[in-house]
Amino acid sequence: MISTLLSRAGGADGDPAPRLVYGADYNPEQWPRAVWEEDVRLMREAGVNLVSVGIFSWARLQPAEDTWDFAWLDEVMDLLHEGGVGVDLATATASPPPWLTTAHPEILPVTATGETLWPGARQHWRPTSPVFRRYALRLVRALATRYAGHPALVAWHVNNELGCHNVYDYSDDAARAFRDWLRARYSTVDALNSAWGTAFWSQRYTDWEQILPPRLAASHPNPTQQLDFKRFSSDALKDHLRAEREVLRELTPDIPVTTNFMVMGGTRGMNYPDWADEIDFVSNDHYVHPGPQDRDELSFSANLTSGISGGRPWFLMEHSTSAVNWQPVNVAKRPGDLVRDSLLHVAHGADAVCFFQWRQSAAGAEKYHSAMVPHAGADSELFRAVAGLGATLESLAPLAGSEREPARVGILYDWESWWASEQDSHPTSLLDYRQEALDWYSALLALGIRADLVTTRADLHRHQVLIAPVLHVVPADLAKTLTRYAEQGGHLITTYFSGVVDEHDHVWLGGYPGALRDLLGIHIEEFGPLLPGDSVELDDATTGTLWTDRITVTDSGTEVLARYRTGEQSGRPAVTRRPAGGGSAAYVSTRLGVEGLTSLLPRLLEPAGVESELPAEARGSVEPVVRRGAGGRFLFLVNRTDDTVQVPGLGGDVLVGATGADGTLTLGPRAVAVLRQPVA
């Protein structure tokens, strides 16, 4: 789908062959007309073949309620088309103009403490406001009517990063829509009372009108109310996405529709696996947060985006050429980072590499955010690196459209468990769901073993090993699925605080880990969270932090792989595994961190016979990733280190990188090689 976007536009040189997309957000309204011509010339020079236009252009396109100004955008679209650059045209609804918020302040979001989020920045709109919806759809209709049939138009970009700043709105509109959502979910107030456990703290409702979003309360708000509000808030944004998409489908049925997700860092408000089917292709934005696992996190996010996209190619809509402007300290990228970061996304299935933004702004909140054309201009190291990357992507055209080759190991990433496991009034407030999954991922990278991030919507049976860290919410049908998975030969690995509650956040009674107790062959009567700084030793020389469990083995088949050597649980099982049918189910009851997991994993993977596919010299220092398509099997080797790594011959044509006479690949610091191998 993505690789054919360009043939739809005729491609930069009129060549309809699939290729990778290269480009950026383009904000010409920030620049005088004279700069536009230079922009298009430089885009060609850099190999740019697609830009996203109009993302924040509402005030310019519609300067007053009944005044429209499309002339400038007509000209931009024409110029880009003449230059062979396709357009991913935004619906421009991300930032309502001042005339609209002045006339209708009731579209502004309200926080849990009752404060209004005023205009002056961006995304100051309530997802549930009927007034906002009406104005937004009118704009979408006007744009789609005007540009239907324009030859530059290759895709629609709905809004921008839906929920980036406005995911939780506690306004009266939100309260009304929340009640409608709850009515659809529960039908009766009694059913809601039972799901929310309102017998507790005198919370019993007798009428829908009494129900509110979880606004600032005197103590811990009802946990199921909080969980449902998270589900509702994600659905409210999804509903807005659908509403814009419906207008676009009506007026331009042949133009694919996307919206940019934010699978990165701590962004958790939008349940993207649940949104993926609403759009024609998945797009993602990703920014590096500097830290010890920063590139593992990049790989993890790209990998998870691929999982959300069902393994199909996806579109990297934004990342940065160098520094951003919104972190406490905004670090510039080092030599090699630009190419390595970009190709790591491609390795995990991105068929497009785009940036925020084309030309670095001279004014506004993002003037210190890097871009493809920096403040220094095109005669700069950065622009030369940008053009070099364009050429590299050109040489990777044969892999456009290829899909990710399933890895033997899957890591289950579940939004419901993410939301529920981190709520308040739990055994510990220190649990970080995403970090838990990332640590398992880093440990697999350290061992040179490929793994796919998957969601509960995926076919889990594709993976011989399924790691489900902190799978906290396990409804009855998921428990059945996981039991069947193990009985049919899969090897499940799960951890503390998994299987504890059902979809209503009610505890499965009879001992933890309730829903998975029988499958795991263990019983836990009480959790043993650890204070910050405390740790326990295990008899396999690993160290646990954060959590311990008081485990009793209940099935004679359950093996104890490691025991606690110190602490309150000393002598008790810490890591267990129960054979189940053709497979097994293992449980890790403490936080071992990347180092501990790297040491434990080979034992956990042994029954499945999973080992690294890399030669010993490259394990740990190189991340292997594989895409597969009509053009072949594409093996990416990404140097995770700042040192040069030699990788003995693996066979295949070298698309990116250099080999010596004996076929040894030399990967410089942070370098990437891509090999094309015949499909077995």
* Stretch 614-633: interaction string toward ligand GLA, x if CB under 6 A: --------------------
Question: Quick one: which of 39, 161, 228, 341 contacts ligand GLA (CB under 6 A)?
Answer: 161
What whole-number distance in Å separates Cα of residue 413 and Cα of residue 308?
Answer: 10
Decide whether 285 or 436 has the Cβ nearer to ligand GLA.
285
What whole-number distance in Å separates Cα of residue 104 and Cα of residue 131?
Answer: 8
Question: Quick one: which of 324, 430, 553, 654 contacts ligand GLA (CB under 6 A)?
Answer: 324
- Confirm or reject binding of residue 124 to ligand GLA (CB under 6 A): no
Q: Could you list the beta-strand ranges (E) of 273-391.
A: 283-285, 314-318, 350-355
Token pair in block for residue 650: 């693996």
Q: Which residues pair with 465 in a beta bridge?
A: 409, 491
Between the alpha carbon of residue 406 and those of residues 411, 431, 468, the distances in Å are 12, 30, 17
Contact 443, 305 (CB under 8 A): no
In angstroms, what is the minimal distance from the CB of 161 to ligand GLA? Answer: 4
β-strand 536-537 against 543-544: which pairing, if any? antiparallel
Is residue 278 part of the annotated active site? The answer reads: no
In angstroms, what is the minimal distance from the CB of 324 to ligand GLA? Answer: 5
Decide whether 366 or 539 has the Cβ nearer to ligand GLA.
366
Catalytic residue among 161, 297, 416, 623: 161
Largest CA distance in the chain: 80
- Confirm or reject binding of residue 415 to ligand GLA (CB under 6 A): no
Decide whether 318 or 341 has the Cβ nearer to ligand GLA.
318
DSSP 611: -
What 3-state DSSP class applies to 351? strand
Contact 350, 314 (CB under 8 A): yes
The values of phi and psi at residue 550, to 5°, are: -95, 90
- Confirm or reject binding of residue 301 to ligand GLA (CB under 6 A): no
Taken in order 190, 194, 199, 202, the sign of the CA dihedral is negative
Between the alpha carbon of residue 7 and those of residues 24, 151, 300, 342, 366, the distances in Å are 18, 11, 31, 22, 33
Question: Is 36 annotated for ligand binding?
Answer: no
* Residue 126: burial class (beta carbons within 10 Å; 0-12, 13-18, 19+): buried
What whole-number distance in Å separates Cα of residue 482 and Cα of residue 88?
Answer: 41
- Confirm or reject binding of residue 286 to ligand GLA (CB under 6 A): no
Question: Is 125 annotated for ligand binding?
Answer: no
In angstroms, what is the minimal distance from the CB of 285 to ligand GLA? Answer: 4
Is residue 613 part of the annotated active site? The answer reads: no
- Confirm or reject binding of residue 318 to ligand GLA (CB under 6 A): yes
- Confirm or reject binding of residue 433 to ligand GLA (CB under 6 A): no
* Stretch 528-557: interaction string toward ligand GLA, x if CB under 6 A: ------------------------------
HSE, CB side, 13 Å, CA atoms: give it for residue 29.
Answer: 19
Taken in order 457, 461, 467, 470, the sign of the CA dihedral is positive
Helix axes 33-46, 71-82, angle to 10 degrees: 30
Decide whether 29 or 366 has the Cβ nearer to ligand GLA.
366
Binding-site size, ligand GLA (CB under 6 A): 9
In angstroms, what is the minimal distance from the CB of 318 to ligand GLA? Answer: 5
- Confirm or reject binding of residue 351 to ligand GLA (CB under 6 A): no
In angstroms, what is the minimal distance from the CB of 356 to ligand GLA? Answer: 4
Decide whether 142 or 324 has the Cβ nearer to ligand GLA.
324
In angstroms, what is the minimal distance from the CB of 219 to ligand GLA? Answer: 8
Decide whether 356 or 636 has the Cβ nearer to ligand GLA.
356
Closest C-alpha among 427, 608, 386, 606 to residue 530: 427
Decide whether 161 or 173 has the Cβ nearer to ligand GLA.
161
Decide whether 262 or 444 has the Cβ nearer to ligand GLA.
262
Question: Quick one: which of 126, 230, 348, 369 contacts ligand GLA (CB under 6 A)?
Answer: 369
3-state SS of 506-538?
A: CECCCCECHHHHHHHCEEEEEECCCCCCCCEEE
3-state SS of 184-224?
A: HHHCCHHHHHHHHCCCHHHCCCCCHHHCCCCCCCCCCCCHH
- Confirm or reject binding of residue 287 to ligand GLA (CB under 6 A): yes
What whole-number distance in Å separates Cα of residue 400 and Cα of residue 467?
Answer: 30
- Confirm or reject binding of residue 508 to ligand GLA (CB under 6 A): no
* Stretch 168-197: interaction string toward ligand GLA, x if CB under 6 A: ------------------------------
In angstroms, what is the minimal distance from the CB of 167 to ligand GLA? Answer: 14
Question: Quick one: which of 181, 281, 314, 356 contacts ligand GLA (CB under 6 A)?
Answer: 356
In angstroms, what is the minimal distance from the CB of 125 to ligand GLA? Answer: 15
Contact 306, 346 (CB under 8 A): no
Taken in order 143, 148, 154, 158, the sign of the CA dihedral is positive
Provide the phi-psi class of 593: left if phi over 0, else alpha when psi is between -120 and 50, else beta. Answer: left
In angstroms, what is the minimal distance from the CB of 262 to ligand GLA? Answer: 7
- Confirm or reject binding of residue 285 to ligand GLA (CB under 6 A): yes
- Confirm or reject binding of residue 244 to ligand GLA (CB under 6 A): no
- Confirm or reject binding of residue 88 to ligand GLA (CB under 6 A): no
Catalytic residue among 297, 318, 436, 623: 318
- Confirm or reject binding of residue 337 to ligand GLA (CB under 6 A): no
Question: Quick one: which of 91, 160, 576, 612 contacts ligand GLA (CB under 6 A)?
Answer: 160
In angstroms, what is the minimal distance from the CB of 165 to ligand GLA? Answer: 10
Decide whether 136 or 316 has the Cβ nearer to ligand GLA.
316
Decide whether 185 or 289 has the Cβ nearer to ligand GLA.
289
Closest C-alpha among 50, 107, 105 to residue 80: 50
Question: Is 122 annotated for ligand binding?
Answer: yes
- Confirm or reject binding of residue 341 to ligand GLA (CB under 6 A): no
Contact residues toward ligand GLA (CB under 6 A) are 160-161, 285, 287, 318, 324, 356, 366, 369
Sequence ranges of the binding site for substrate: 122, 160, 326
Binding site residues, as ranges? 122, 160, 326
Residues with catalytic function: 161, 318
